[in-house]
Structure 1
Amino acid sequence: MDKIYIEGLKVHSLIGVYEWERKAPRPLLIDLCLETDLGIAARTDDVNDTIDYAKVAGLLEKVALESDFELLEALTLAMLDALFRDFPVQAARLKMSKPDILPNASNVAVEISRRRS
């Protein structure tokens, strides 16, 4: 299966368990891998025959801004659900990073993968 990658996408979301985390949206970084058939787009060179990266990024930004989750796991799954709802993907892997949240670690992250049944 062919793959589309979007790496280092920066979004903002009100997310966190602790009260101090819930005062303002926090920056998050997303690494995404989508599996889909890119054969037609490769032959036609037409954006209408592929998954538009800008639309994917816009959807992820929208989900992040409109959410109010405590856990990265919940936001990550909500993003995957939206991707499967709006785009013809066969499988997706989304890694969400929350940098500088722990004083002794540069980053924490979760990664969830799903496949269309």
Structure 2
Amino acid sequence: MDKIRINNLKFYTKNGVLKEERVLGQQLELDVELELSLAAAGKSDDVNDTINYAAVNDLIAQRVATSSFNLMEGLLAAIFDDLAKQYSTQLHAATLRVRKYSVPMPGLFDNIEVEMQRRFDQ
């Protein structure tokens, strides 16, 4: 299966379980991997025969800007719902990864990452 990847989208959000996270906010990084057939786009060289990754970026940015979740899992589930609504006929599967850096817990670490996968062609 062919893939389109968008790596390290950066967003400032006010998501989190703790009140401080929702008041102060934090930066999230998000990776998107879309699985679909790119054969038609490869032959036609026409953006209408693929999933426009600029439109995917806008869809995700809109979701992040207008929603607030306790869990990163909730944010990713909402993005999957948005992708399914917009691209259900083209998209076979998707993988989303989100990294959170300012996690209020003890210990030394770079970030917390959540990865979720969904199939859309079942």
TM bucket (normalised to shorter chain) is over 0.9
Q: Structure 1 residues 16-25 or 89-98, which shifts more?
A: 16-25
- 1:28–1:98: 8 Å Cα contact kept in structure 2? yes
Letter in 2 for 1:95: R
Q: Which runs of 5+ in 1 are unaligned?
A: none
What are the residue-to-residue correspondences of 1:43-62 with 2, within 5 Å?
Answer: 43-62=43-62
1:108 aligns with 2:112: yes
Please give the secondary structure, in 2, of the residue aligned with 1:75: helix
Answer with 19-28 or 84-93: which moved more.
Answer: 19-28
Structure 1 residue 26 displacement after superposition: 2.4
TM-score by structure 2 length? 0.90
Q: Tell me which residue corresponds to 1:86.
A: 86
1:66, 1:21 → 2: CA distance?
16
Q: Percent identity?
A: 39
Count how many residue pairs are aligned between Structure 1 and Structure 2. Answer: 117
Amino acid at match of 2:7: E
RMSD: 1.3
**Residue aligning to 1:95:** 97
TM (norm. structure 1) is: 0.93
> Do the aligned residues in 1 keep the contact of 2:26 with 2:102 (CA within 8 Å)?
no
